Chains A and B, each alone.
Chain A
Amino acid sequence: MTKKLLILFMLMATLLTACGGGGEAAQPPEAEESSQSAESEEPAQAGDEESAVEKVTVRVWTHQNESFNAGYQALMDEYSSLHPEVEFLFETFDYDTYIQTLQTALPAGTEADVLVMFGSWVCSYVEGGSLAEVPASVISLEDARSQILGAPIGGYVCNDKLYGIPQEFNIEYGAVLFNTAIAEEVGATNYADGWDTWDEVIEDGQKMAVSQDGVMMRAGLNYTASDGLATMFHSVYLQYGGQYLEDGTYTVNTPEGVQTLELMERLKTEGLVDPLLYSDEENWVGDSYFAETSAMGLVGPWAIPEYSGDYEDVAAATIYALLPSVGETPDFAAASGWGMSVSANSEVQDVAWDFVKFATLNADNAAEFNLASGTLPALAENLSGSNADSLVAEFPYFEPFLDILEYGQFEGAFPDRDFVWYEVTYPEVLNFLQGNATIEETLQNIESAVQASFE
């Protein structure tokens, strides 16, 4: 009997060890569920009619971001108050875990009803048949293109069909972080009236850059991080009148490509940055700007809320200064930002789409989300009017961006946008700026590597 008890105990101990060992790494991705908070805010209902109405549960998945999640929660609460029969199960995941969760859940058909997606991912999941097309009752593709700005909507259109609706404009080019305190210190003044030409930018940047014994201690304009560099390359290419992606053919080895690289090289040779010392690996633009080892930095407006907590003084002296355009209009390439899609496997697609429409196409609701999450609007209607005023009042550094969002062009339906940006464009252009390749070699390498990714 004792022996049997001992055997049983050993078996239990072994099972518990096998199942529980390894801490966080051994456990499957944990989803934070806030269904209780969503449910608790449902207004109390009474009466026979209420009990006859069938409750619908809509699962919503997104990545973990405090301000984004606050925005989503507010939208769900508002929707629930208007539709008491609908309750939400809101699950959030750490960013990297979210990507992997989508990759496993979508093929397996276990995903949530509403999926918050980054626009650049959408078409790859559409390929797998995982996402539902937006019903015409929600919005037609034609109406979506007229109501929603071009860059945000671009990622959600696959094979001329709409598979989701964006909520924000993701921008990495068009304006730069600008330290007005440093500018005042060194007498850089061109920015005050807005830069009309790159000559004025260079003049300010030269004054703000600091070198000692030939070593750059403060960059005038840090544009050599991966996102900024790759986006700048494609944006300036557009401004020179080129189109780098047409009908599945990628072309940059053109006169426009030469002009683009010449401009980017000029910024280096005029002393605005040392590309050997400033890159993704060292002096990354966000860290460098707020540590004041860069006076200007090419990075999106998400950087300010990210760093302002730790660098209050620098944040207080920071504005966004619009960059000049080499073309008629300040065209720029932009990724398609965060938005909502609905799973093709969802059993409550009607309700899910109704919620998505409520959250994204209602101008006031969309603006509320932008306010809560600190993001730029995707709806054209919110570029002006009271919603825009509220956004600028809350985030003053948004103001210059609102003037240029209409010129944003979706960066393109690449088979793998990250590959094009981070594995091809950034290393090739950085290598060129470091003086290790010619313009022709660089353009040829970029073009052939990106084109090969389509095959």
Chain B
Amino acid sequence: MKTKTSQRFLQRFVLGRDSAKKRFIAGTISPLVLYMAFWTVFPLLWGFALAFFEFSPRRAGGFLGFGGDNPFIGFGHFMSMLNFSADSPLEVKQFHIAIRNTLLFAGLVVPLNLIITLPLAFMIESVHERVKGIYRTLFFLPVLAPSVGVAIMWGFIFHPQRGLLNAIIGKFAGRLVGIHWTGDPNLAVLGIPMALFAIIIAYLWQDFGYNMVIFIAALQGIPESIKDAARIDGVNWWQMLTRIIIPLISPTILLTAILTLISAFQVFDIIQVMTDGGPKDQTQVLLLNIYNYAFRYQKMGWAAAVSIVMFLLVLSISLFQSRVLRTEWEY
């Protein structure tokens, strides 16, 4: 006797035109789903499990390397992270520094990025149609450049002896200038290391074009009728900007802020090439820290624990951001 479930199954997947469609879709995407499940979900779960073991790939273990010389330590790594004493292990000290630097980096990059890209989008939108595309392309080009190339280029600009920046300053100063922008640990502005600023500049230069085109699309999406109605009501440009345009594109601003934040937390290649975390760990960030301990020093258990902390950090900040910045605007 057929049950309701089996009847529904037959109806959905075996009989009729709709079921044929569903069979086709299922058949097409199932290899990809299996592929993704194996190559994405499984490594995620394995990486998560690593965080609870004192794991090094050089040591012998049991199933998947766990156990044996890679013992289970439970929350041992996470407890170590709470050790703020002066005699804590070096990896714990560097972890604290990395968290601080990552938050500082993301906290500066997100607002600076928005401050640059939003007005830039406005300006590009206000020029003639003929040149709009040229400006958009020019400002978007750095996004297409490989990060390593960007890092090498900015490394040249910031070079202490042969760099472009010091050469320009030297021309004004009338003498040779040898400021080591990325390597002098004593150079700081408002307590923020100059090396970190140098990284931020390179990162923003590469990244701002991406948000700019998103904002341009958002601006183009505002119906002209709304702006016309506002003009009829006698608003000036400032009121148009602050009372009409920005509120209407605030969902886009929220989205770009979250995406920029997540991207800022994942910064790695620019820092590794330009400073490798120096000078004196002043540009040591979480992802670089994870990479070093996982692949240079083979402490994969510790690195996995740090990556979980990073995931939770990004998740909580993203949720907080979406809560605080959400609006109920619609048009």
Binding site for B on A (CB under 8 A): 3, 7, 10-11, 14-15, 18-19, 100, 103-104, 107, 124-125, 127-130, 212-217, 276-277, 279-283, 293, 416, 418-419, 422-424, 427, 431, 434, 436, 448-449, 452-453
The reply to whether A277 and B161 form a contact with Cβ atoms under 8 Å apart is yes
Complex: how many Å from CA A282 to CA B175?
22
B117: interface (CB < 8 Å): no
Do A212 and B57 have beta carbons less than 8 Å apart?
no
A215 and B177 contact, CB distance less than 8 A: yes
**A11-B28, A416-B297 known; A452 vs B58 contact (CB < 8 Å):** no
Contact of A127 (CB < 8 Å), options: B69, B90, B182: B69
Q: Given known contacts A7-B28, A281-B183, is B160 in contact with A107 (CB within 8 Å)?
A: no
Assess the B297–A431 pair: CB atoms within 8 A: no
A18-B32, A448-B87 known; 7 other A-B pairs, CB under 8 Å? A10-B27, A11-B27, A11-B31, A18-B31, A18-B35, A107-B61, A128-B69
Q: Which residues of A contact B32 (CB under 8 A)?
A: 14, 18
The 8 A-B residue pairs whose C-beta atoms are closest, nearest first, are: A215-B178, A213-B176, A128-B60, A103-B57, A18-B35, A124-B58, A213-B175, A449-B90
How many of chain B's residues touch chain A, expressed as a range?
A: 35 or more
> Which residue of chain A has the shortest Cβ distance to B24 in the bound complex?
A7
Q: From residue 1 to 60 of chain B, which have CB atoms closer than 8 A to chain A?
A: 20, 24, 27-29, 31-32, 35, 57-60
A125 to B176, CA, bound (A): 52
Chain A residues within 8 Å of B65, by CB? 107
Whether B31 contacts A128 by the Cβ 8 Å rule is no
Q: Contacts A276-B184, A279-B183: A14 and B177 contacting too (C-beta < 8 A)?
A: no
Which residues of A are found within 8 Å of B292, using beta-carbon distances?
Answer: 423
B276 at the interface (CB under 8 A from A): yes
**Could you say which of B58, B161, B274 contacts A215, with CB atoms under 8 Å apart?**
B161
CA distance A129 to B32 in the complex (A): 39
Are B185's CB and A434's CB within 8 A?
yes
B159 at the interface (CB under 8 A from A): yes
A276 contacts across to B, CB distance below 8 A: 160, 180, 183-184
A452 touches B27 (CB 8 A): no
Interface centre among B32, B90, B159 (most CB of A within 10 A): B90
- Bound-state CA distance A103–B178 (Å) is 44
Q: Is B90 a contact of A423 with CB atoms below 8 Å?
A: yes
Within 8 A of A (CB), among B152-201: 159-161, 175-178, 180, 182-186
Chain A residues with Cβ under 8 A from B24's Cβ? 3, 7, 10
CB-based contact B275/A281 at 8 Å: yes
Decide yes or no whether B266 CB sits under 8 A from chain A.
Answer: no
Decide yes or no whether B298 CB sits under 8 A from chain A: yes
> What's the minimum C-beta distance from A134 to chain B, rounded to whole angstroms?
20
Chain B residues closer than 8 Å to A419, beta-carbon distance: 296-297
Residues from chain A with Cβ under 8 Å of B184 in the complex = 276
Quick check: B69 and A15 within 8 Å, CB to CB?
A: no
CB distance from A382 to the nearest CB of B (A): 32
